[in-house]
Structure 1
Amino acid sequence: MASITLGGNPATTVGELPAAHTSAPDFTLTKSDLSQVSLSDYKGSKLVLNVFPSVDTGTCAKSVRQFNEEAAELENTKVLCISKDLPFAQARFCGAEGIENVEMLSDYKTGTFGKDYGLEFADSAFESLLSRCVLVLDANGTVRYTEQVSETADEPNYKAALEALMDA
């Protein structure tokens, strides 16, 4: 379990993020059109998994905007923004913000992504939501970089994630 904070208060996750140089666990998530997508659908592309509690919070929204601007322009790279928000809320946010270069995915149906990746909150006011993390996967689905943000209100280290993409 990762020990993090939420507004300065202690919180834990259900496990640890996948280790670097290991195969990322498969997932099935829901797209904005309610269709399902899995990790294998992205084989051959580098991935940035931008994971957060809810797009309806300031820091989460900022991370989507930032990755939309910076990483979405990179060659052979897809940015997946993942939360437990309903796909309708994710689509509403993207429409209102003009977000077009990232894919919004939801773990609302089964909740297995958060558990399998060890990043779901185990306790705190955000219990069962996804903690703020960034993972970079190479084109073969191998984990190249992870960041479990230690204070949920803080932004991830965009620069480190983008640099990891260059090496992926």
Structure 2
Amino acid sequence: MAKVLMITGDFVEDYENMVPFQALLAMGHDVDAVCPDKKAGDMIATSIHDFEGDQTYSEKRGHNFALNATFANINAADYDALYLPGGRAPEYLRLNAKVIEIIKYFANNNKPIASVCHGAQLLTAAGVIKGKKISAYPACQPEVKMAGAEYVELPMDGAITDGNLVSAPAWPAHPAMLKQFVALF
């Protein structure tokens, strides 16, 4: 079974955080959920993004999520795969030098990385997607292209794998994304 690192943070998308976390655990994988400046047992706030027919998603306060590992104590080399959920957390997590260093470590060592929705903002900030086919929430398309990747428009329940990277546009893609991600283990 794989040991998976999940980098998350306040106002991560609730489903994109909890569903893959629980699904990977249910499959028998070890998952460490961490957030910069927080430790095991600390809570993060989540938000729920829904598609209700408006021009963009709506946002509602989600559940609290308890981290199960301490960010300051992790060593990327101890993990087999990396999962990056979306929501609003990636927009500030990408400003953390250690987060970027960890993402680069996984990319440079060809270890599996899964990113959903706005998780692509972390991949673009790390500069690890040039020449890759990447999906993300449509609002991230300009960033993906500016980072030198090919943005792939998929239905909200679709996912794509390019080398060690699995990406998807939003939480409805969990079944496809998780199936492809686990296949890389």
TM above 0.5: no
Question: TM-score, normalized by length of structure 2?
Answer: 0.33
**Larger % of helix: which?**
2
The alignment's TM-score, normalised by the length of structure 1, stands at: 0.36
